[in-house]
């Protein structure tokens, strides 16, 4: 167990908690070892009367709560969780990601041991599968001891997670799914060892090893379907700086973000993100706020103006600002809180599972015990076999594989079409989607500015003007400079100087050139930007820049509309830019200047109308919308905060895969219904046979394995569209833009 007392120290405590109202602290951590609804119930009981606003994410394996540091130490809360067998982890901590990889390798090793042992035990148990009476007693005895030797590492090593989980659950006064599983394994193995030593009686080593093998495989499949969600949430802090450059006297020192206080002077180097909200101390600063507000153009902030945490310094000089908001007070932290509150509500099926999980497990144990008592009065020699058969037959192995197997197959098909299912459970809602909400900047349009047109106004030709412009902008971080990055230039620039808000100038071949705002007004529409190239004699060329609509956006929107879906555009960009994109794509409903809260309110309004909503976005300002949507999709080049809550990640920087994804999800749901129906029918069919004594333990284990195999094979029948493929990322091209 870990030593959590270090987290009583305020500086370290701030890495996992932030200030909350009424003197409380709010904690958001990862928690490993959560497998089912019973695990959630155990954690809730562990923290009962000690914390408030408790939220546990089963899929994301996250834990959020508030506590009063004056009455309870954070270390004691973390220790209680750790002692119960759950491992608390700091989100975005490299150690957590490394531990996940180690645990995955360990699980694969256990599966390998279980598979080898199960195969060998079944080979050694061949006399028990036949009615041949001429098997030499000495050979039969030798094979029984060999089975005991081979089965031992499978039961003790490979099956250790089930034994440990059952022990921790019972010690905490709970029953989890590990309890009947561990009981089945222990009964089969313990009775077999006893009868092997006694030299008489039926043995069940094959049942025990087969049980361990199949359950480990099922748990591994389930864990892999949830791995991406956990990984993305552990990278949540990627949207925030973890350290900052603080001015201390005449020197600059690097300090943890948690040590910053309101009033500190912070430096932000070129190309770095602003770590806190603050008031600018410099004359002017150029910032890229596209991931925060949806605004696609560079924003120039002047002295005393507010800078938002998460915005990017795209100028050439370091910025100085005085911190006005740190920790939970920053705009970024407020958006993050919206994100977690939006995802706090549990679906109805999860609430039902939480309510009845313990009752189901107790029913299985009671049924097995009742069967054993019944047969003890009829035939004591068969009571153990019947109890074991009931435990094995009632274990919902096929039922537990029904959903993850089909989901894993669908996830693979989706990846082939250009969609990564970060939260596979969203596939159940995707076919029911009837409304799609799109962000604009970075979603329907490319996130970067592109060169649209060149107007030559001087004596040089277009090629020479592009050569000079590319040379002046080469190596700069400004979005305008990135629009010229694809142009190769052999010109050499000396004495280059960037003037905040004005442009860049430098000397090329002995002549002084300037790239910046036009000296006279140019009307190119509110959705375009213009930069002018000139020298001492006057303007030479004007370059029209715009955020180009994605090549597949029009076809995607048209396809969604043709399918009967309602499509809306919600953007933080300006009215003219949003209206122009909506007209080009045929979107009748568009809203501009939308804050994260306004986007969330529109989503809630649609959901109150009974609509099932798919939200597609890329920025940090889209994170609350993605969190609250029935299904959410994020662009691959977007903010880590947006990707952290997205159900789907669109690969290849394309939205074209949305329509095929719905068809694949519909297939997956059909397979899931078939699998669940079969699994329930199988369990209901074999339970009477097990209770009546007609089903031997090895037959129950074999039937369970065949049932599970059938479920997996049926799940693999999920197919994607024949023409689907991962969209290729195209190089920058000149195209008409808005």
In terms of average pLDDT, the best of 591-605, 628-642, 648-662 is: 591-605
The widest CA-to-CA distance across the chain, in whole angstroms, is 110
How large is the average pLDDT for residues 199-208?
82
Judge whether 297 and 529 are in contact, CB under 8 Å: yes
Segment 572-601 mean pLDDT: 85
Q: What is the mean pLDDT of residues 421-433?
A: 79
Task: Give the per-residue pLDDT at 661.
Answer: 87
**How does pLDDT run across 320-331, given as a tens digit for each residue?**
889 888 766 665
Is the pLDDT at 568 greater than 90? The verdict is yes
- Bridge partner residues of 567 (DSSP): 436
In the 3-class helix/strand/coil scheme, how is 279-343 assigned residue by residue?
EECCCEEEEECHHHHCCCCCEEEECCCEECCCCEECCCCCEEEEEEECHHHCHHHHHHHHHHHHC
- Give me the percent of the chain exceeding a pLDDT of 90: 10
Give the chain's radius of gyration (CA, Å): 31
Average pLDDT over residues 632-641: 69
Residue tagged active-site, from 178, 277, 354, 439: 439
Q: What is the dihedral of CA 364, 365, 370, 371, to 10 degrees?
A: 70
Is 70 exceeded by the pLDDT of residue 640?
Answer: no
Instruction: Tally Cβ neighbours within 10 Å of residue 532.
Output: 22
pLDDT reading at 243 higher than 80: no
Q: How many of the other CB atoms lie within 10 Å of CB of 97? A: 16
Reported in sequence order, the residue ranges of 573-729 that DSSP labels E, i.e. its strands, are: 589-591, 613-617, 631-634, 648-650
C-alpha–C-alpha distance, residues 317 and 556, integer Å: 41
CB 502 within 8 A of CB 481: no
- Measured CA to CA in angstroms, residue 670 lies from 148, 630, 676, 717 at distances of 43, 19, 10, 10
Phi-psi category of 414—alpha, beta or left, where left has phi over 0 and alpha has psi -120 to 50?
alpha
Sign, CA torsion 249/250/255/260: positive
Is the full-model pTM beyond 0.75? no
User: 306 or 2: whose pLDDT is higher?
Assistant: 306
Tell me which of 612 and 417 has the higher pLDDT: 612
- Residue 330 tokens, joined: 């920053």
HSE of 164, CA atoms in CB hemisphere, 13 A: 11
What is the C-alpha to C-alpha distance for residues 24 and 520, in angstroms, rounded to an integer?
A: 57
Mean pLDDT lowest among 307-316, 561-570, 595-604? 307-316
- Give the DSSP H/E element, type plus range, for residue 642: helix 640-645
**81-100 pLDDT tens trace:** 888 778 777 654 434 445 55
Between vectors from CA 40 to CA 227 and to CA 335, what angle results, nearest 5°? 65
Q: Residue 564: left if φ>0, alpha if ψ -120 to 50, beta else—which one?
A: left
Please tell me the distance from the alpha carbon of residue 520 to that of residue 532, in angstroms, as a whole number.
10
Residue 125 has which token pair? Answer: 């148990």
| Strand-pair category, 319-325 with 631-634 | unpaired
pLDDT at 154 over 90: yes
Question: What's the rounded Cα separation, in Å, for the pair 670 and 683?
Answer: 20
- Hey, what are 56's tokens? 């546990």
Element (H, E) at 146: helix 137-153
Helices H / strands E in the chain, number of each: 22, 27
Question: Mind listing the pLDDT tens digit for each residue in 398-415?
Answer: 666 677 667 767 777 777
How much is the pLDDT for 337? Answer: 53
pLDDT at 723: 41
132: left (phi over 0), alpha (psi -120 to 50) or beta: beta
Give the tens place of pLDDT for each residue, 522-546. Answer: 665 555 778 899 988 888 999 988 7
pLDDT digits 0-9 by tens, 167-191: 877 776 777 777 777 888 888 898 8
* Three-state secondary structure call for residue 564: coil
DSSP 272: P
Place of tokens 């971080």: 477
- The pLDDT assigned to 146 comes to 92
The pairing of beta strand 503-508 with beta strand 511-516 = antiparallel
Strand-pair category, 319-325 with 87-89: unpaired
Q: How confident is the model at residue 239 (pLDDT cuts 50, 70, 90)?
A: very low
Looking from the CA of 480 toward its CB, the CA atoms found within 13 Å total 28
Give the 3-state secondary structure of residue 673. Answer: helix
Cβ-Cβ contacts under 8 Å for 194 (sequence gap 6 or more)? 201
C-alpha angle 448-449-450 in degrees, rounded to nearest 5: 115
Question: Of the spans 22-26, 126-130, 336-340, which averages the highest pLDDT?
Answer: 22-26
Whether 397 and 708 have beta carbons less than 8 Å apart is answered as: yes
| CB-side neighbour CA atoms (13 Å) of 18 | 15
Q: What is the pLDDT of residues 450-491, one digit of tens each?
A: 888 898 988 889 999 999 999 998 877 677 787 888 888 888
Which residues pair with residue 413 across a beta bridge? none
Other CB atoms within 10 Å distance of the CB of residue 400? 21
- Mean pLDDT, to the nearest integer, of 635-653? 66
The residue written with tokens 């339970």 in the block is 687
Asked whether residue 625 carries a pLDDT value surpassing 60, the answer given is: yes
**Which pLDDT value is given to residue 94?**
39
Q: Give, as one character, the DSSP assignment of residue 7.
A: G
Q: Using CB atoms within 10 A of its CB, is residue 39 exposed (0-12), middle (13-18) or buried (19+)?
A: buried
CB 313 within 8 A of CB 495: no
Quick check: is 576 catalytic? Answer: no
Concatenated DSSP letters for 99-111?
HHHHHHHHHHHHH
Mind listing the pLDDT tens digit for each residue in 212-233? 887 787 677 656 655 544 444 4
First to last CA, the chain: 58
Average pLDDT, the chain: 76
pLDDT at 651: 67
pLDDT at res. 732 = 31
- At what angle are helices 37-46 and 74-83 packed, to 10 degrees? 140
Q: What are the residue ranges of helices labelled H in 553-637?
A: 553-562, 575-585, 596-608, 623-628
* pLDDT tier, 344 (very low <50, low <70, confident <90, very high otherwise): very low
Bridge partners (DSSP) listed for residue 277: 325
Torsion of CA 359, 360, 365, 367, to 10 degrees: 110
Mean pLDDT of 560-582: 86
427, 431, 436, 442 alpha-carbon torsion, rounded to 10°: 40
**SS3 sequence, 493-516?**
EEEEEEECCCEEEEEECCEEEEEE
510 or 426, greater pLDDT: 510
User: What would the pLDDT profile of 29-69 be if each residue is shown by its tens digit?
Assistant: 777 777 666 677 778 888 888 888 787 765 556 777 888 88
User: Which domains are present in the chain?
Assistant: 5-90 (3.30.70.100), 239-329 (2.70.150.10), 450-546 (3.40.1110.10)
Q: Is the Cα dihedral 318, 321, 325, 330 positive or negative?
A: negative
pLDDT of 289 over the 70 cut: yes
Q: 127 exposed, middle or buried (CB, 10 Å; 0-12, 13-18, 19+)? A: middle
| Per-residue tokens: 147 | 């089975």
Paired tokens of 233: 């949430």
Cα separations in angstroms, 212 against 88, 203, 304, 727: 27, 16, 65, 41
Question: What φ, ψ does residue 385 adopt, rounded to 5°?
Answer: -60, -40
CA distances in angstroms from 634 to 84, 294, 491, 535, 643, listed in the order given: 36, 14, 39, 44, 6
Q: Per-residue pLDDT for 341 more than 50? A: no
> What value does the mean pLDDT take over residues 360-379?
80
pLDDT of residue 347: 42
- Chain centre distance of CA 451: 35
């Amino acid at each position: 167990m870990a030593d959590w007392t270090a987290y009583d120290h305020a500086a370290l405590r701030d890495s996992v908690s932030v200030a909350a109202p009424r003197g409380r602290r709010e904690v958001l951590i990862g928690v490993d070892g959560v497998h089912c609804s019973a695990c959630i119930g155990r954690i809730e009981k562990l923290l009962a009367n000690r914390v408030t606003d408790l939220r546990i994410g089963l899929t994301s394996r996250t834990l959020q709560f508030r506590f009063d540091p004056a009455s309870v130490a954070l270390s004691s809360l973390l220790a209680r969780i750790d002692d119960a067998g759950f491992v608390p982890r700091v989100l975005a901590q490299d150690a957590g990601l490394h531990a996940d990889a180690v645990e995955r390798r360990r699980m694969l090793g256990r599966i390998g041991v279980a598979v080898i042992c199960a195969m060998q035990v079944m080979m050694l148990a061949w006399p028990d599968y036949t009615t041949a009476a001429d098997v030499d007693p000495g050979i039969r005895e030798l094979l029984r001891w060999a089975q005991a030797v081979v089965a031992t590492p499978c039961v003790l090593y490979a099956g250790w997670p089930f034994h440990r989980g059952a022990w921790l659950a019972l010690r905490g006064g709970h029953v989890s799914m590990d309890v009947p599983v561990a009981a089945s394994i222990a009964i089969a193995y313990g009775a077999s060892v006893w009868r092997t030593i006694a030299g008489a009686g039926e043995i069940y080593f094959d049942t025990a090893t087969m049980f361990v093998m199949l359950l480990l495989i099922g748990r591994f499949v389930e864990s892999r379907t949830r791995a991406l969600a956990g990984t993305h949430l552990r990278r949540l802090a990627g949207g925030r700086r973890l350290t900052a450059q603080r001015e201390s006297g005449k020197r600059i020192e690097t300090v943890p973000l948690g040590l910053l206080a309101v009033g500190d002077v912070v430096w932000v180097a070129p190309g770095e993100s602003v770590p806190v909200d603050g008031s600018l101390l410099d004359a002017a600063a150029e910032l890229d706020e596209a991931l925060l507000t949806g605004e696609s153009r560079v924003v120039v902030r002047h002295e005393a103006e507010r800078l938002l945490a998460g915005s990017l310094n795209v100028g050439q000089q370091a910025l100085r600002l005085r911190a006005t908001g740190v920790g939970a007070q920053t705009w970024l932290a407020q958006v993050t809180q919206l994100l977690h509150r939006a995802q706090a509500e549990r679906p109805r099926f999860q609430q039902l599972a939480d309510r009845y999980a313990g009752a189901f497990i107790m029913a299985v144990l009671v049924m097995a015990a009742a069967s054993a008592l019944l047969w003890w009065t009829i035939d004591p020699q068969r009571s153990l076999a019947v109890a074991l058969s009931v435990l094995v037959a009632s274990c919902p192995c096929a039922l537990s594989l029904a959903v993850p197997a089909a989901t894993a197959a669908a996830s693979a098909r989706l990846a082939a079409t250009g969609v990564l299912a970060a939260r596979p459970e969203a596939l159940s809602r995707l076919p029911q989607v009837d409304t799609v909400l799109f962000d604009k900047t970075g979603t329907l349009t490319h996130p970067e500015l592109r060169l649209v047109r060149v107007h030559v106004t001087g004596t040089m030709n277009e090629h020479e003007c592009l050569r000079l412009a590319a040379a002046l902008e080469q190596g700069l971080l400004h979005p305008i400079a990135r629009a010229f990055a694809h142009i190769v230039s052999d010109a050499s620039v000396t004495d280059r100087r960037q003037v905040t808000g004005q442009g860049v100038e430098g000397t090329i071949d002995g002549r002084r050139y300037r790239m910046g705002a036009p000296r006279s007004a140019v009307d190119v529409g509110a959705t375009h930007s213009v930069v002018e190239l000139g020298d001492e004699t006057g303007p030479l060329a004007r370059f029209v820049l715009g955020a180009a609509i994605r090549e597949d956006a029009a076809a995607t929107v048209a396809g969604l509309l043709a399918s009967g879906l309602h499509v809306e555009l919600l953007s933080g960009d300006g009215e003219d830019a949003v209206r122009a994109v909506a007209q080009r794509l045929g979107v009748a409903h568009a809203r501009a200047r939308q804050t994260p809260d306004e986007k969330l309110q529109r989503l809630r309004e649609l959901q109150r109308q009974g609509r099932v909503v798919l939200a597609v976005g890329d920025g940090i300002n889209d994170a609350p919308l993605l969190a609250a949507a029935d299904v959410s999709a994020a662009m691959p080049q977007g903010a880590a905060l947006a990707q952290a809550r997205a159900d789907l990640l669109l690969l290849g920087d394309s939205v074209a895969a949305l329509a095929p994804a719905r068809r694949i999800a519909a297939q997956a749901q059909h397979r899931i219904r078939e699998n669940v129906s079969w699994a329930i029918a199988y369990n209901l069919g074999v339970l009477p046979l097990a209770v009546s004594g007609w089903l031997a333990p090895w037959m129950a284990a074999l039937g369970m394995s065949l049932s599970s195999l059938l479920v997996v094979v049926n799940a693999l029948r999920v197919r994607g569209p024949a023409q689907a493929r991962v969209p290729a990322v195209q190089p920058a091209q000149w195209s008409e833009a808005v």
